[in-house]
Amino acid sequence: MNQLKDALSLVLTEIGNACAQANRSENSVQLLAVSKTHPSEMLREMYQAGQQRFGENYLQEALNKIEELQDLDIEWHFIGHVQRNKTKHLAEKFDWVHGVDRFIIAERLSNQRLPDQTPINLCLQVNIDQQDTKDGCEPSEVATLVSEISQLENVKLRGIMVIPAPNNTAAFADAKNLFDQVKSSHAHPEDWDTLSMGMSGDMQAAISAGSTMVRIGTALFGSRDYSQK
Ligand SMILES: *Cc1c(COP(=O)(O)O)cnc(C)c1O
C-alpha cells in the first residue's frame, strides 16, 4: 500500500512542479494511471490512495479488471489500438477511448453506446511525427475527422492523443499547435479540451508543451512483466 501511495504522491508532486515551471495551474493537467499488465489488486490500492482515472491497453485484460473492480467508481480509459470488431465492448464498458483514428471507429462507438449511457469521450490519435506505423491519422486529416465525428450522436470528441517516438519531445509542440488550430475553428471550443500526451519518461516536456493529460504507467506501478501475456 505504502509503496503505491508514495509513487502516486511523487508523480503528483512532479506534475505540480512541471506546471509551476511552465506557469500553468496545477489542476490543468490530469493524471491517467496506466495499469496494463498489473493485477486488479494493485489498481484497487492505487484507487484507495486517491487515483480514480485508469488506462488500459488490452481489451480482454481490461474487461476482467472492470468486472473485478465494479464496486469502485473508476473512470476507465482505453488507450490501446482499436480494432474495428472490438468496438462494442469499448462502447459499453469504457468512459474514454484515446485511440480513434478513423471515422468508422467513432461511428461504431456512437452506434453501440447504450441508450442509458452518457456520450463516450474520444480522442483522435494523431501520428504527429510521421512514424512508420499504422496507428494514428495524419495531421492533415484531423480537421475533416473533427467535423465528421462531431456530427455523431453518442460521442464527445475531446481532443488529440499522441505517442511521439522516444526523445522526440519537439513533437509535443507540433501536437499543441495542431490542438490550438482545431480549437480556434471549433464550433464548441469548450468541448475541445484534452491534449493527451506524456508518459513516465517525458512527462515534464509534455507538460511544458501544453499537455492536459499525462498517461503514466512505470512511474506509478513499476516496470511491467509481459511474460504472462
Ligand atoms: C503503456 C503506455 C503508457 C505508459 O507508459 P509508461 O512509460 O510506463 O509511463 C502511456 N501511453 C500509452 C499509449 C501506453 O501504451
Predicted confidence (pLDDT) per residue in 16-36, tens digit: 999 999 999 999 999 999 999
Neighbours of 192 (CB within 10 A): 22
Residues 61-98: pLDDT tens digits?
999 999 999 999 999 999 999 999 999 999 999 999 99
Q: How far is CA 44 from CA 13, 38, 59, 78, 229, in A?
A: 21, 11, 19, 18, 21
Q: Which residue from 15, 54, 215, 220 has its CB within 8 A of the most atoms of ligand 1, so it is best to mutate?
A: 215
Q: Tens of pLDDT along 140-154? A: 999 999 999 999 999
Helices (H) and strands (E) in the chain, counts: 9, 8
Q: Cβ < 6 Å from ligand 1: which residues?
A: 34, 36, 57, 79, 163, 199-201, 215-219
Whole-model pTM over 0.85: yes
Rounded CA gap, 142 and 213, in Å?
A: 19
CA of 123 to the centre of ligand 1 (A): 16
The string of pLDDT tens digits covering residues 184-219 is: 999 999 999 999 999 999 999 999 999 999 999 999
Ligand 1 center to 135 CA (angstroms): 15
Identify the residue whose C-alpha is closest to ligand 1 atom 14.
79
Q: Is the pLDDT of residue 131 over 60?
A: yes
pLDDT confidence tier of residue 226, bands split at 50, 70 and 90: confident
170 CA to centre of ligand 1 in angstroms: 18
From the CA of 199, how far away is ligand 1's center (Å)? 6
- Domains for the chain: give ranges and CATH numbers: 2-22+30-222 (3.20.20.10)
| Region of residue 23 (left: phi > 0; alpha: psi -120 to 50; beta: else) | left
pLDDT at 228: 63
C-alpha–C-alpha distance, residues 70 and 184, integer Å: 39
Contact between 50 and 24 (Cβ < 8 Å): no
CA 187 to ligand 1 center in whole angstroms: 32
Rama region for 133: left / alpha / beta (φ>0; ψ in -120 to 50; rest):
beta
A 10 A CB-CB count for 64 gives 14
Please tell me the predicted confidence (pLDDT) of residue 133.
80
Cell of 217: 504507467
